Every structure is written in C-alpha cells, then in structure tokens.
Amino acid sequence: MKPCLLIVDDDEEIRSQLQWGLGEDYDLLLAEDRRAALEMFQSRRPAVMLLDLGLPPNPASPEEGLAVIGEVLAIDKLAKVIVATGQGEKQNALQAVGSGAYDFLCKPVDLEEIKIILRRAYHVAQLEREYRDFQQQLHKDAFECMLGNSPGMLQVFTTIRKVAGNDAPVLILGDSGTGKELAALAIHRRSLRKDGPFVPINCSAIPETLLESELFGHEKGSFTGANAQRKGRIETAVGGTLFLDEIGDLPLSIQVKLLRFLQDHTIERVGGRVQIEVDARVIAATNTDLTKAIREARFREDLFYRLAVIVIRIPPLLDRAGDIQLLARAFLHRFAKEIGREHIDFSPQALAAIQSHSWPGNVRELENRVKRAVIMADSARILPEDLELGSAATAPHAVRTLQQAREAAEREVLQAALERHGGKISPAAVELDISRPTFYELMEKLNIQRPPRESKAVRMTNDE
C-alpha cells in the first residue's frame, strides 16, 4: 500500500501539479481549506501533511495554516507537517516550526526537494511510531523488572503473584542467566516486606572460610582479624528478604546452621553464645540439580524441603521463542539511549539471527550481544556480524530444537549447492528439485548470503 499524504493548498493549479508529481508514490488526499483538511485528517490519519500556510478566508495571513498545525498535532502529536511559504515570509515558516511543524519549504517549491523531504519525514514518522508501539507493548508485557508474554513466563508471573503475599520460603530453579534474581526481587517488591531491605548473597562467590561469617556475622576476637563485632547478611535482612543465590554450592557445614535458622528464626554469630531472633523471609535460587546433589550427599534433604515450600522454575530463553525479540528490542532501546544512538535498529537479517540462535547463556547472553551490537554497528542498521553470535552448534552447552536442527541442515545443503554452481540460483535450484522462488525464500529465511560470482556476463546469461 502507498503511504497516505494530505496536501492542503487553496491553489487548484498547485494541487494538480503535486498530484501529478507525487501520485505515483503516495495515496493523495487533497484539501483547499482548514475545515476540509481537518475532516480528511481525522478520517484517514495520514502520517505526513504538506500544508500551505496561506488558506482562506485570509490567504495573505498564516493564521489559518498555523491553526491547522495546532489542531492536527492535538489529534496526533506524531504527525509530520511540512509547511510551504513564500520566499519573503520565512518568519512565518519559523513560527510554524515553533508551533510543531516538522519542516518548511519556500515557494516556488522544487519537486525533487519535496520528494526528499517527504521520504525523510515518513522515515522519521515510522521510527517514532514503532518506538511508541514498542513502549506500549513493553509496558503491557512488563512484570516488575521482568519481560515476557510466553506461556512459561506468564506461569512464573502468576506464581509470583500468589506467593508474594506470605512469608513461605521460595526456591527458584533455572539455568544461569535466566533471571532468577529478578524473580526474587519481584516477589520482594510485591510482598508486605517491600519497604524492608532486599539482601542478595551469592553462595558460590564467597570462599568457604569466609561464608559463615558473611552470613551469620561474628563477634569481636572470634578469629584472627575480627577486630570488631559485625552483623552478617541474615541480620541485615531483618524486616525484609534474604536472597541466597546458588544455594546448591553451600557447604554442608553451613547448611546445618541455615536449616536451624529456617526452623526457629534464630542465629548465633561466629564466636557468639547469644541466640539472636531474625525476622526475614528467605528466597533461594540455584541452577544445580538438587535432587542429584541429595543423592550424592552434597545437599541436605531436610534443608531442601525447608527451602522448597514453593518452587518456581524459570524457563530457558530457548523455550521462550515469543519473548526473544521483545527482550532484544528492550535491550536495544536501553543501550541505544545510553550512548545516544536512538535511531539505531535491527536489520531483518539480524532479527533472523537472533531468533535462530540457541542462546545457551540465556537472557544474560542476549543482553551482552545486543549491547555489543549497539556499540559496534557502523550504520543505523544492526547486522548479524555486529551481534557476533558465532555458531550455535559450537556454543558451549548449546541445545537445539528439532526446528533449529532442520534449519541448520537446510542452510548447509543450500550453501553447498550455491558453492558448487558458482553462486548461480537456477542450476542450484534444479539440483535440489525446487523452484527458483522457493530457493530465494529459503535464502532469505535462513539468512544465506549469495556468494560472489565470476562476472556480470555470467550472471546475465544464467539467472536473468
């Protein structure tokens, strides 16, 4: 469909000339006064309007044209109004721009200049509307700090809503990079403890010799270097939520003390003898198979059942196909704004690469790759190479679905056929017993670049 363009001018000859010059590229609406212009705009909502400031009943004054700008932008603030004014009336054009017009032209207008300005106006209008739609979708799909509308994530959101209002311990399971801490934070923010502290601790990031003191605190003189009494993370979470990440890596000796805290809500500092009551909710998370760890005597079964009153499983990104582009665009807009590249966007090829990648690193990997692409892209369109995804097949711990395996096999077959026939489509399609249009569709779908061929003459005789 042609983009819709509203032309408002009281000169019938100018309207006819513009209709002749622009009719091939645009679906034109023609109006000669303010009333007709507003009726057409209200009815069709064109993204761009070409407006003569001098309209009846007083064409020598810009008042009617300026009034049109104000009323149009009140209906649609993203509309792009390009005004036309006389050579000696530049002040009127500047006033129009100050009132919200996108650009101005001086009469007599040049058709090629109009075409360039119109193309730019439509491009900007499209970017702004896509960004507005994205923000609306982002708000719709956002849950606390989490994004997603796939069935798996909607189930996660439903469970969080149900468990947030009580103090039952929660165990969050999921692969590394899926967003387990965000889920814990969402529970905290929706709980009655939301005004209290949220205290996270990564059990695998602290040496075992220091972990007990870090969790439970210590008394002065309890060990070398303990020069003062110190509260542990559990105590600092009073009135709030303690988040124990990577709980599967907790040493057995400390598992015993944690179990005691979960049973009676009291702790003893290292080197202390006093029982200290602590009112804190506990949420734990791990990417470890705790059932296997219990069988291997690396994790206490009684601690598991204390922690796993409620279990939430965060699905890997590979199982959230509908969320991948939503998350990618969210990261794109965030990083683009941070470095001042608001108009950058994904190319269709980059989106295809994002959708087909296996994402072994889950959401964290996606965030990392998009940030890199925003920084490294040489143009306003991000290309697959800017993402530097590499081969999904060789990525560590990559798991491919049947569809991904099928696409990989199709890609290999098509690329091999193209190489055998020097990049020529027709013989490659004949060899694979498919039509040329089907071959082109598969190339686009699988993001296959046509290899260079020897000469233009060969291309003309074989494929055109």
Continuous H helices in 47-192: 63-75, 90-98, 111-141, 151-163, 180-189
Residues 206 and 155 reside in one and the same domain: yes
Q: Which CATH number do you get for residue 115? A: 3.40.50.2300
Residue 4, C-beta contacts closer than 8 angstroms, at least 6 positions apart: 26, 27, 29, 44, 45, 46, 47
- Cα gap 447→453, rounded to integer Å: 18
Cβ-contact 328, 382 below 8 angstroms: no
Same domain, 9 and 118: yes
User: CB-side exposure of 127: number of CA atoms within 13 Å?
Assistant: 15
Task: Please enumerate in sequence order all residues whose Cβ is within 8 A of that of 337, keeping only pairs 6 or more positions apart, or say none.
Answer: none
Asked if residue 397 is part of any domain, the answer here is: no
Q: Could you tell me what percent of the chain has a pLDDT over 90? A: 49
Q: Are residues 297 and 423 in the same domain?
A: no
Q: Which of 86-90, 318-322, 346-350, 419-423 has the lowest mean pLDDT?
A: 86-90
299 in the same domain as 167: yes
- β-strand partners of 7: 30, 50
- Residue at a domain's end among 263, 297, 315: 315
- The pLDDT assigned to 135 comes to 60
User: In this structure, are residues 341 and 374 in contact, taking their beta carbons and an 8 Å threshold?
Assistant: yes
CB contact at 8 A, 382 and 374: yes
Percent of the chain with pLDDT over 70: 90
Give residue 300's Cα distance to chain centre.
40
Q: For 165-178, write each residue's pLDDT tens digit.
A: 899 999 999 999 99
Instruction: Please count the structural domains in the chain.
Output: 4
Q: Phi then psi for 278, rounded to 5 degrees? A: -130, 120
Say whether both 453 and 426 belong to one domain: yes
What confidence tens digit (pLDDT) does each residue in 362-386 have? 999 999 999 999 999 988 889 999 9
> What mean pLDDT value characterizes the chain?
85
| 464: confidence class by pLDDT, cuts 50, 70, 90 | very low
Nearest residue to 52 via CA among 92, 112, 111: 92
Examine the domain organization and report whether 151 and 292 are in the same domain. Answer: yes
Q: Domain of 99? A: 4-138
The pLDDT-based confidence of 461 (bands split at 50, 70, 90) is: very low
The residue among 138, 168, 198 that closes a domain is: 138
Span 348-354, average pLDDT: 90
Residue length of the chain: 464
Domain boundary among 138, 173, 193: 138
Please compute Rg for the chain using Cα positions: 32
Q: Same domain, yes or no, for 296 and 331?
A: no
Q: How far apart are CA 421 and CA 432, in angstroms?
A: 12
Do 325 and 374 share a domain, yes or no?
A: yes
The CATH code of the domain that includes 408 is: 1.10.10
| CATH code: domain of residue 364 | 1.10.8.60
